[in-house]
């Protein structure tokens, strides 16, 4: 669906929202407020976070995540993680643009963070992670059409992926190039631009309990620094643990030439996103250096 041109600006209703702590609807028209409520109703597809808070352990591979097709070569610290909103620190900054034209609406949403990245590189029996600055943000786009039968009178028809990047453009040296999602060995989704719109029905992947999902990602890293491998990639998924719906982080197998993959078995129904998380090796290897570089793509899906 095409974005409205500048020539139509005078005929459009638009709102740009900025807030230090949360989204709000101050100064919005009725349509815009309804569209915002409809977007917020897409819980799972649109959340700006993922994974458990702080330095946590990487989940050991198990039948829930299938055998690796190749031997993993990347070795990362066991305990690491993110705290994007530090108590007493800077609050996240939310921005949202809502453009309504007739019976269609376009939403662009962003959240910027100033937090910390935690990693325990001590390799001893003591849990003592160090921290380094983390400044990044996530962006997503969505398209809605007016539908009296939908909640809030608007129905979502397309979404982009969630795309987390370093705030400092010069630090965007780790870049996910594409992600392909296979379900029971059939391609269900292939994306090479996280900002491109994918239709919710039928392109957003739909899984069933017991399906085997294979995620393949290609990653480029121009950081330099001499680490081998240069990049470590992980999969964050919440619907693979047979004991309940909870975040699990597992390493993706390094196939060489920037290709990484992991399989997981769908265990629970619901609407959510899984996340491909690519980090520069030095981010994990050097505990206190101010060198955070990462790119994460959140892929929406539904389990029926």
pLDDT digits (tens, 9 = 90+) for 261-282: 999 999 999 999 999 999 999 9
What's the half-sphere exposure (Cβ side, CA atoms, 13 Å) at 222?
Answer: 7
In angstroms, the Cα distances linking 233 to 71, 101, 163, 250 are: 14, 41, 15, 9
Of the candidates 145, 125, 111, the residue with the CA atom closest to the CA atom of residue 31: 145
Q: What are the beta bridge partners of residue 39?
A: none
Instruction: Give the pLDDT confidence score for residue 261 in this predicted structure.
Output: 97
What would the pLDDT profile of 139-155 be if each residue is shown by its tens digit? 999 999 999 999 999 99
In angstroms, the Cα distances linking 25 to 29, 95, 105 are: 9, 12, 16
Assign 10 a pLDDT band (cuts: 50, 70, 90): very low
What would the pLDDT profile of 184-212 be if each residue is shown by its tens digit? 999 999 999 999 999 998 889 999 999 99
Query: In the predicted model, is pLDDT for residue 7 greater than 50?
Result: no
Query: In the predicted model, is pLDDT for residue 15 greater than 70?
Result: no
Pairing between strand 93-101 and 270-280?
A: unpaired
CA end-to-end span of the chain:
27
Instruction: Give the pLDDT confidence score for residue 128 in this predicted structure.
Output: 81
Assign 122 a pLDDT band (cuts: 50, 70, 90): confident
Assign 21 a pLDDT band (cuts: 50, 70, 90): very low
Mean pLDDT over 2-14 rounds to 38
* Superfamily of 6-303 according to CATH: Immunoglobulins (2.60.40.10)
Residue ranges of the domains in the chain? 6-303
CB-CB neighbours of 199 under 10 Å: 13
What would the pLDDT profile of 212-245 be if each residue is shown by its tens digit? 999 999 999 999 888 888 999 999 999 988 888 9
Backbone phi and psi for residue 153, each to the nearest 5 degrees, phi listed first: 80, 10
Q: What is the pTM of this model?
A: 0.88
């Amino acid at each position: 669906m095409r974005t409205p041109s500048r020539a139509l600006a005078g005929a459009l209703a638009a709102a740009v929202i900025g807030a230090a702590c949360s989204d709000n609807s101050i100064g919005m028209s009725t349509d815009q407020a309804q569209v915002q409520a409809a977007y917020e109703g897409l819980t799972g597809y649109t959340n700006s976070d993922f994974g458990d808070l702080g330095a946590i352990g990487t989940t050991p591979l198990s039948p829930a995540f299938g055998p690796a097709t190749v031997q993993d070569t990347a070795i990362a610290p066991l305990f690491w993680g993110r705290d994007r909103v530090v108590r007493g620190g800077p609050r996240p900054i939310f921005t949202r643009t809502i453009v309504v034209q007739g019976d269609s609406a376009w939403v662009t949403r962003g959240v910027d963070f100033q937090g910390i990245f935690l990693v325990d590189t001590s390799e001893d029996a003591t849990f003592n992670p160090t921290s380094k600055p983390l400044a990044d943000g996530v962006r997503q786009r969505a398209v809605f059409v007016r539908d009296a039968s939908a909640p809030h009178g608007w129905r979502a028809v397309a979404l982009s992926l969630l795309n987390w990047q370093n705030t400092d453009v010069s630090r965007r040296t780790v870049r996910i190039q594409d992600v392909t999602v296979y379900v029971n060995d059939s391609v269900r989704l292939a994306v090479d631009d996280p900002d491109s719109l994918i239709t919710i029905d039928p392109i957003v992947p739909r899984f069933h309990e017991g399906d085997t999902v294979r995620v393949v990602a290609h990653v480029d890293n121009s950081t330099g620094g001499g680490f081998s491998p240069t990049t470590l990639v992980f999969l964050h998924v919440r619907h693979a643990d047979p004991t309940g719906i909870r975040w699990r982080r597992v390493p993706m197998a390094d196939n060489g030439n920037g290709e990484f993959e992991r399989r997981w078995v769908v265990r629970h129904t619901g609407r959510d996103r899984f996340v491909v998380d690519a980090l520069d090796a030095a981010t994990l290897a050097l505990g206190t250096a101010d060198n955070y570089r990462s790119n994460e793509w959140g892929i929406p899906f539904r389990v029926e």
